Amino acid sequence: MSLNPELFERHSVAEAEGVFSDISRAQTRVTDEGCIFLNRPDFAGGAGCALHLSAILEGEDPLVWKPAVCWQFPFKIDREESVNSDGATTECRTVRAWRRSDWGPGGATMAWCCSDPIEAPEAFAASDPVWLTLAQELSALAGPAVHAALVMELGVED
């Protein structure tokens, strides 16, 4: 997997300094107050994620190219185990939007790009519903059967 420099606005920074901000390679570098892979709206190669754009150009799935935390966003999965009357353990997963409090004390000052209805109301005004526009991500998170059940419960066709 190789990023095309024409689709990666911060390519020169990545070559000079690397894409990770720490030695454990757990966090991407922040450049100009954003992820190193974030192309700005006026970038000639295309706005948005350079990984996403490159995957599409290569005819590959962007979910494979991107870190899980990126493609899962804006979804947060809460997991809760319960014990049934027969003693069997069941895990219940709830899919919801991230909240600042989910990130601990740092969440109060974190840049929220598209998940805060006050800071980015345009992120909540799409003409198509989330279950449709992010169907691939929901299916990957919850499984195709759960996504299909959600669509059926909503009374719509996938």
pLDDT tens digits, 90-116: 888 888 888 778 878 877 776 655 666
Of 6 and 77, which is predicted with more confidence?
A: 6
The residue range of the domain holding 3 is: 1-67
Residue 73 located in a structural domain: no
pLDDT at residue 121 greater than cutoff 80:
no
In a domain, 10, yes or no: yes
Residue 135 lies in a domain: no
Q: What is the dihedral of CA 19, 25, 27, 33, to 10 degrees?
A: -30
The answer to whether residue 31 sits within a structural domain is yes
pLDDT band at 157, cuts 50/70/90? low
Q: What's the pLDDT score for residue 115? A: 62
Indicate whether 144 belongs to any domain: no
Q: What value does the mean pLDDT take over residues 11-16?
A: 91
For residues 114, 123, 156, 150, the Cα torsion angle rounded to the nearest 10 degrees is 20
pLDDT of residue 29: 86
Domain presence at residue 11: yes
Predicted pLDDT at 12: 92
pLDDT at 79: 87
Tell me if 62 is assigned to some domain. Answer: yes
Averaged over 143-157, what is the pLDDT? 85
User: Model's pTM, two decimal places?
Assistant: 0.70
Q: Which residue has the tokens 């996938």?
A: 158
What are 31-89's pLDDT values in tens digits? Answer: 887 889 999 989 999 998 999 999 999 999 999 998 888 888 788 888 899 898 999 99
Q: How many domains does the chain have?
A: 1
Look up tokens 């195709």; give the residue.
144
In a domain, 125, yes or no: no
Q: What does the pLDDT read at residue 10?
A: 93
Q: Please list, in sequence order, all residues whose beta carbon lies within 8 angstroms of the beta carbon of residue 36, skipping any fewer than 6 positions away.
A: 10, 13, 14, 19, 28, 29, 30
The pLDDT value recorded for residue 112 is 59
